Chain A
């Protein structure tokens, strides 16, 4: 229903209500006059009901509502019939409005795809459809524009706002040689990009595709609701028929029965009509998918892409969370974690001579040493380098003999040193035959990892496991620092799969196992787990492909947030299911005992639907 139709319906509802009030005040009003407001409010419902019957759709809500109100007319409840129709239409209008609003807010979320790209050609800059830009061409991004295609910066520098994709509010600095992702907003600098992927494979296209198809993998509770709806309506209609026919029959055959005393067939018809009004399962059928959709929408606003409501449901039932260590819980890059200098040497001097000694090496350790020194290195200070395989190296810095390497190098050179017991790789340095200190190089846990694991526990995760290909010392140090319950180190990729399978076998039935990895070399585990979460998938197609939930950046806090959204959404879904069913059954029970009015029945139908929708909309507002 578009805005125009909604407005028309609103006008009809208002004029019908006004007429109804007038008729109520006018004591001499003819009953026939009530047909006027009834018709204004509900002519389309009646039309649709007739068309429904022609098409064989007898349990159509229009049909049920028509029967109920026409029945009310026939039993002499004129104002009630009009009121029921007006209230029903008000409920419909509100439902439409609410659904439209949530659709719009999710559509706004998805508005990350620019319509045009500025292609650089020999004739100058041309505005073209991003789909027509070939890989390798150069596009220009003006300040404030959204980046249409993935590419590498060839000219210019800027800060790009990635918040639409990652939920991260701090802009990312980019310069020549950096990769940028479509969907981000360019800051104040002009950028020239060389396009690296066709539009279909760009980040924006992938994300849109993913969110659009999220509805295909429906959650169990969503399926339950549609199954329930399939049986609910026929059952209620049958019950209504029985409620009218049986007592009416008995009134003829055996009018002396106790529970029939003082009733006529029209009383029983009235009770049966109440059943019909309640027989539409709309509240449930609309609010459950809406809740899931809201949850998925809230998540994607925070840079969490969920591929279907079934994964939201599975996530909420997580008992065990398995983490990959490197890149997930830790930074995934080596850096200097500690500098222990011997007496008489300053930390800076130690680090500098180590960096100079390793200046010509391409080993990751050497890289991290050089990265730790801020001042540029004067390579002319370094003499000839002698590599000592399995030990380290010997060279001269400023004419001094420097030994840099592991403990074996120190032992063989007969240098007494202070062993460093911390987890990681230790580089010992000796200058002119005397010990100068040691530098610890380690993969640091992410700053937010420990807090995230604690938050997961708070959200009901019982067990956390860390899998690592690293050595036991490094793994145990990280596990202890982060409060992970269990860890397995020195695993080859296929051992990670079998380890995850063992955990999957041991889980309690009904619970799930979540696996979190970076998606680079753990795709088999990602797809094997009940819920595979790929982290830091910013721009990595393979990870997006293999996982069920994608965290666009690599902050482990997002995982805790995803868990929170899953739990909240599921609790709202449960509230809606229980609330709608209880109210409906309750009013039916009261109706059968002649304790309910038609007004209560309408409330149990549209009123409950509106409340359930409002409740479902809360899912959209879940944040950190």
Chain B
């Protein structure tokens, strides 16, 4: 399933790249990309575990850029 989320307060382009790498490496994530300019996260992950994966994604982003919020 492919979904797109808005990211709020994403201020650091380097963090965005780190988050993107981190999310891609999560098990069950097929592809992920963060567009720093539009502040959007596009994620393609397993349908069955999607919500669980999104939980991990949120935790990961919190670690890398605490100010940044994923609007779910």
User: How many residues belonging to B are interface residues under a CB distance threshold of 8 Å?
Assistant: 24
- Tell me which residues across on chain B come within 8 A of A57, comparing CB atoms: 18, 63-64
Contacts of B20 in A (CB 8 A): 226
- A340–chain B nearest beta-carbon distance, Å: 58
Per the bound structure, the CA–CA distance linking A212 and B4 in Å amounts to 10
Q: Are B11 and A1 in contact (CB under 8 A)?
A: yes
Given A281-B14, A282-B14, the answer on whether A289 and B37 have CB atoms closer than 8 Å is yes
Nearest CB in chain A: distance from B5 CB, A? 12
The closest CB in chain B to the CB of A226 belongs to B17
Contact across chains for B63 and A56 when beta carbons are under 8 A apart: yes
**Cα(A218)–Cα(B21), bound, Å:** 14
When distances are taken between beta carbons in the complex, the residues of chain A under 8 Å from B15 are 60
B13 and A285 form a contact (CB under 8 A) = yes
B4 contacts across to A, CB distance below 8 A: 212-213
Q: Is the CB of A216 within 8 A of B42?
A: yes
Residue of A51, A103, A213, A229 touching B14 (CB-CB under 8 A): A229
**Bound complex: CA A258 to CA B34 (Å):** 51
Which of chain A's residues has its CB closest to B60's CB?
A55
B17 contacts which chain A residues (CB < 8 A)? Answer: 226, 229-230, 285
| Neighbouring A residues of B62 by C-beta, 8 Å | 55
State the majority secondary structure of interface residues on A.
helix
Residue pair A215, B64 in contact (C-beta under 8 Å): no
Contact A280 B14 (CB under 8 A): yes
Selected from A55, A215, A230, the residue in CB contact (under 8 A) with B40 is A215
* Docked-complex contact B66 and A48, CB < 8 angstroms: yes
A213 interface neighbour in B36, B42, B63, Cβ under 8 Å: B42
* CA A218 to CA B18, docked complex, whole Å: 15
B3-50 CB contacts (< 8 Å) to partner A: 4, 9, 11-15, 17-18, 20-21, 33-40, 42
- Is there contact, CB below 8 Å, between A216 and B33? yes
In the bound complex, residues from chain B placing their C-beta under 8 Å from that of A229 are 14, 17
A606 near B: Cβ within 8 Å? Answer: no
Contact partner of A286 (CB less than 8 A), chosen from B9, B34, B36, B66, is B36
| Cβ-defined partner of B66 (8 Å) among A2, A51, A102 | A51
A198-230 residues at the B interface, CB under 8 angstroms: 212-216, 218, 226, 229-230
B residues within 8 A CB of A56?
63
Interface string of A407-438 (1 = CB under 8 A from B): 00000000000000000000000000000000
Q: Report Cα–Cα, A48/B12, bound state, in Å.
A: 13
The reply to whether the CB of A290 lies closer than 8 angstroms to some CB of chain B is yes
Q: Which residue on A lies nearest to B42, using beta carbons? A: A216
With an 8 A cutoff between CB atoms, is A490 at the interface?
no
Cβ-defined contact, B37 with A293, below 8 A: yes
Question: Do A96 and B37 touch (CB < 8 A)?
Answer: no
CA distance A216 to B15 in the complex (A): 17
Q: Are A61 and B13 in contact (CB under 8 A)?
A: no
Q: Is B33 within 8 A of A212, CB to CB?
A: no
Chain B residue nearest to A609 (CB atoms) is B13
Query: Which residues of chain A come closer than 8 Å to B40, judged between CB atoms?
Result: 212, 215
Q: How far is the CA of A569 from the CA of B37 in the complex (A)?
A: 16
B46 to chain A, nearest CB (A): 19
Contacts of A102 in B (CB 8 A): 37
| Smallest CB gap from B8: residue in A | A2
List 5 additional contacts besides A60-B15, A282-B13; criterion CB under 8 Å: A92-B11, A103-B39, A213-B4, A216-B35, A289-B36
B residues sitting closer than 8 Å to A (CB atoms) are: 4, 9, 11-15, 17-18, 20-21, 33-40, 42, 62-64, 66
- Listed in ascending order, the chain A residues whose CB lies under 8 Å from chain B are 1-2, 48, 51, 55-57, 60-61, 92, 96, 99, 102-103, 106, 212-216, 218, 226, 229-230, 280-282, 285-286, 289-290, 293
Show 23 residue pairs from A and B whose CB-CB distance is below 8 angstroms, ordered by the A residue.
A48-B66, A57-B63, A99-B37, A102-B37, A212-B4, A212-B38, A212-B40, A215-B34, A215-B37, A215-B38, A216-B33, A218-B33, A226-B17, A229-B14, A230-B21, A280-B14, A282-B13, A282-B14, A285-B13, A285-B14, A286-B13, A286-B36, A289-B36
